[in-house]
């Protein structure tokens, strides 16, 4: 009987150790960089605009960097905070869709974002993964972990466009759609909330280092990341209140003079029914903070 208990004890040791692995590796520092794409009124695919992935615009790809911190609440549930710096851009000259191309608007904008998200991880870490034990083979030695997440963030943006003087000018102060000039149109705020959702993969390189790739789709409650949302304003009104440069950005020279009627006052300039979105694809290097160096996942400095 003792022999059976001894065998049972030996069998359960890996399970006990495995269940505690996450507690010894609860915190990670994250350094990342990658690509962004804007999903809004400007540019987009060669079709009527959408605010989903099918409106992905290759020429509008820009860069993103981030610094993050992850803490494991349990084996499968983690929380992560990220600070992003990114660039977004869009240009109607990138699309062959007739009316968008004719509109001839463009923009670029920095994005500074602070995000918190909760993550659910699929699979669990095994001792063979952490220590690369000899003889561990097959699926149990695969070191890729998949996770899904959702969260909340706050970001700052500042859309700019290039004028005939060759310089880039901030668009929000110019009220290009008649903000403050019409009683029904207020100036938009350049600090907005965001709802990030997405998924990622992490690959264990060593007991302390991982690499990962993460896709995030950011939904925003604003339609003005590209300074385009509603209808064309009366150009004379914009010029008298904000100057000739504002009137120029309000309605630049059209690419197709035969349909110039589509850019007259009160015609559709943007689609206010669909809010803006943008995506991040980030490749990251992750460092596991040794247990002795943190308390509740917070590093000691």
Q: pTM score > 0.85 for this model?
A: no
pLDDT tens readout for residues 11-24: 333 434 444 555 77
Residue 291 has pLDDT above 60, yes or no: yes
Q: Domains of the chain (ranges plus CATH)?
A: 25-293 (2.40.160.20)
Residue 52 has pLDDT above 70, yes or no: no
At residue 299, the 3 state secondary structure works out as strand
User: How many beta carbons lie within 10 A of that of residue 201, not counting itself?
Assistant: 14
Average pLDDT over residues 87-100: 91
pLDDT tens readout for residues 138-179: 444 556 789 999 999 999 999 999 999 999 999 999 999 999
pLDDT tens readout for residues 165-214: 999 999 999 999 999 999 899 999 999 999 999 999 999 888 889 999 99
């Amino acid at each position: 009987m003792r022999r059976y208990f001894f065998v049972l004890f030996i069998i359960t040791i890996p399970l006990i150790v495995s269940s505690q692995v996450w507690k010894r590796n609860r915190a990670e520092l994250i350094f990342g960089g990658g690509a962004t794409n804007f999903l809004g009124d400007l540019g987009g695919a060669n079709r009527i605009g959408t605010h989903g992935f099918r409106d992905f615009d290759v020429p509008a790809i820009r860069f993103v960097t981030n610094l993050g911190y992850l803490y494991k609440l349990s084996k499968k549930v983690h929380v992560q905070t990220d600070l992003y710096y990114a660039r977004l851009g869009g240009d109607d000259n990138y699309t062959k869709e007739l009316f968008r191309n004719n509109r001839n608007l463009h923009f670029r904008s920095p994005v500074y974002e602070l995000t918190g998200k909760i993550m659910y991880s699929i699979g669990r870490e095994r001792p063979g993964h952490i220590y690369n034990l000899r003889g561990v083979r097959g699926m149990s030695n695969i070191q890729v972990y998949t996770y899904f997440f959702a969260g909340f963030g706050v970001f700052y943006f500042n859309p700019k466009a290039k004028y005939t003087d060759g310089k880039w000018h901030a668009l929000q102060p110019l009220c290009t759609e008649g903000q403050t000039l019409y009683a029904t149109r207020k100036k938009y705020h350049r600090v907005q909330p965001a709802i990030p959702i997405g998924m990622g993969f992490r690959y264990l390189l060593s007991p302390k280092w991982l690499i990962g790739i993460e896709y995030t789709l950011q939904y925003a409650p604003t339609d003005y990341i590209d300074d385009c949302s509603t209808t064309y304003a009366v150009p004379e009104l914009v010029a008298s209140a904000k100057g000739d440069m504002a009137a120029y950005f309000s309605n630049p020279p059209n690419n197709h003079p035969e349909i110039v009627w589509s850019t007259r006052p009160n015609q559709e300039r943007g689609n206010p029914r669909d809010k803006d979105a943008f995506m991040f694809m980030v490749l990251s290097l992750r460092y596991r903070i040794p247990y002795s160096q943190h308390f509740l996942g917070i590093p000691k400095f």
